[in-house]
């Protein structure tokens, strides 16, 4: 009886075809294989942006009027001490770090310094400001000199000091970092300060891996000019004027409504809440 079987030549041809297809497909598959560092970066970045925006827009945390300055356009400049759940925060440039940390589940101590941290110190992560329950380490440094420019530097390690290469981008020594830097401006803009983070954000809508070898550039050291803002010194000409008979504006620049059940905000003012109006 005749048996059906493949010849050795047919088997070799089949293996050859499989090899060629594998050589074509595998490199393409690697390009689209999810990058876990990229995914963790984007997740952390989104959490940071959400937290910073919430902080900057909360007038209970960052009053827009205090110490004879109007912080409307630059709320994060305001280091005025505030109370949260019976504890005081602020009074110096550590305020941002202290309040920022409250928005994360942390392990261990929270150590926020009022002394600006240099890049070389932050890149080592020897003393992080705090570590989250997910193992993400943060090093945060703020400069709030009203005579110069506000800037908060946020360094973060997406997988902690026990995983990865534990380095920040360097075109020569660290092309695939797991530590990154963001810069926060006085009005709450969060800016990617390294080429890898910027590339991750530009390609966040697809899973294609970033071509690290094609990137170049250096770590951004300061807030770009287009995002530089500063508080304004309040003078008689610039202070908030309340409607006649309403008294002076409070520390937030709001005018208290004399009779909330009867009075309405006049033209040129908007209703902040049930008790206050503010100029448009």
Question: Using one digit for the tens of pLDDT, what is the confidence trace for 264-278?
Answer: 888 888 888 888 888
Residue 10 lies inside a defined structural domain of this protein: no
What is the model's pLDDT at position 20? 72
With beta carbons less than 8 A apart as the criterion, state whether 188 and 62 touch: no
Verify that 257 and 185 share a domain, yes or no.
no
Residues 173 and 271 reside in one and the same domain: no
Q: Do 120 and 77 share a structural domain?
A: yes
Q: Which residue from 179, 144, 141 is spatially nearest to 158, judged by alpha carbons?
A: 179
Q: Say if residue 195 is in the same domain as residue 226.
A: yes
In a domain, 42, yes or no: yes
Residue 7 domain flag: no
Does one domain contain both 133 and 216? yes
For residue 46, name the pLDDT band (cuts at 50, 70, 90).
very high
More confident residue, 15 or 73: 73
Whether residue 183 sits in one domain with residue 156: yes
SS3 232: strand
- Average pLDDT across the chain, whole number: 83
| C-alpha to C-alpha distance for 138 and 158, rounded to whole angstroms | 9
Domains in the chain, number? 2
pLDDT digits (tens, 9 = 90+) for 70-84: 888 889 989 889 999
- Residues 12-31 have a mean pLDDT of 68
If asked whether residues 249 and 171 sit together in one domain, one would say no
pLDDT class for 4, splitting at 50, 70, 90?
low
Euclidean distance between CA atoms 90 and 217, whole angstroms: 35
Q: Which domain holds residue 115?
A: 32-232
Q: Does any domain span residue 65?
A: yes
pLDDT in tens, 209-260: 777 777 777 888 888 888 788 787 777 667 788 888 888 888 777 888 888 8
pLDDT tens column, 77-131: 898 899 999 999 988 889 999 999 999 999 989 999 888 777 666 666 888 999 9
pLDDT of residue 67: 73
186 domain-assigned: yes
Helices (H), the chain: 8-32, 36-56, 95-102, 119-124, 195-202
Q: Tell me: do 63 and 109 sit in the same domain.
A: yes
For residue 204, pLDDT over 90 is answered with no
What is the percent of the chain with per-residue pLDDT over 90, rounded to a whole number? 34
Decide if 156 is inside a domain.
yes
User: Both 217 and 279 in a single domain?
Assistant: no
Say if residue 152 is in the same domain as residue 270. no
Residue 188: pLDDT over 90: yes
């Amino acid at each position: 009886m005749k048996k059906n079987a493949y010849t050795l030549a047919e088997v070799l041809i089949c293996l050859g075809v499989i090899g060629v297809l594998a050589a074509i497909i595998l490199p393409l598959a690697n390009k689209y294989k999810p990058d876990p560092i990229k995914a963790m970066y984007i997740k952390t970045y989104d959490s940071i942006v959400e937290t910073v925006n919430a902080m900057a827009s909360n007038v209970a945390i960052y009053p827009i009027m205090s110490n004879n300055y109007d912080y409307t356009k630059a709320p994060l400049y305001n280091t005025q001490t505030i109370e949260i759940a019976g504890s005081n925060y602020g009074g110096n440039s550590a305020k941002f770090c202290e309040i920022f940390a409250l928005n994360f589940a942390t392990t261990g101590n929270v150590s926020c310094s009022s002394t600006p941290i240099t890049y070389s110190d932050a890149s080592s992560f020897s003393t992080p400001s705090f570590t989250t329950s997910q193992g993400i380490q943060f090093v945060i440094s703020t400069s709030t000199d009203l005579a110069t420019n506000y800037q908060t530097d946020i360094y973060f390690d997406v997988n902690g000091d026990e995983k990865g290469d534990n380095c920040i981008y360097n075109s020569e020594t660290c092309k695939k970092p797991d530590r990154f830097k963001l810069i926060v401006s006085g009005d709450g803009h969060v800016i990617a300060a390294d080429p890898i983070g910027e590339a991750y954000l530009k390609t966040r809508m697809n899973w294609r891996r970033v071509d690290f070898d094609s990137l170049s550039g250096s770590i951004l050291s300061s807030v770009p000019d287009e995002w530089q803002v500063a508080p304004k010194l309040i003078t008689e000409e610039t202070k908030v004027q309340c409607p006649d008979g309403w008294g002076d504006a409070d520390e937030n620049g709001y005018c208290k409504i004399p009779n909330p059940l009867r009075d309405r905000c006049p033209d040129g003012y908007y209703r902040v809440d049930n008790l206050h109006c503010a100029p448009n």
